[in-house]
Amino acid sequence: MRYRDGTEVREGDVVSVHHGKTNDRGVVVSVVRPGTQAAIDWSLPRGGVLIEGGGLGLFTTEHLAEDEDIDFVSRAPAPISSA
């Protein structure tokens, strides 16, 4: 799954969600793959993403590559490994 700009979607990504006259920040909570139990549970047969943020709560979208209201902002920092 990719954003409109072609960037691959990853869990933890920060996104900007445009709704009405406001923008909120959200975080990609989960990338749902087609044909999985999560796809069935979330009614996303072709896959999609779960996004949570601001006053938006938790919502899903399956057409992220065409969604003009959601833009990629940044990647979550990589976890620091304790070696």
What's residue 81's pLDDT?
Answer: 64
Per this entry, what is the length of the chain? 83
**What pTM did the predictor assign?**
0.83
* 10/83: higher pLDDT: 10
Domain ranges of the chain: 14-74
Report the percentage of the chain scoring pLDDT > 90: 59
Q: Once rounded to an integer, what is the mean pLDDT over residues 53-75?
A: 87
pLDDT digits (tens, 9 = 90+) for 15-49: 999 877 888 899 999 999 999 999 999 999 999 99
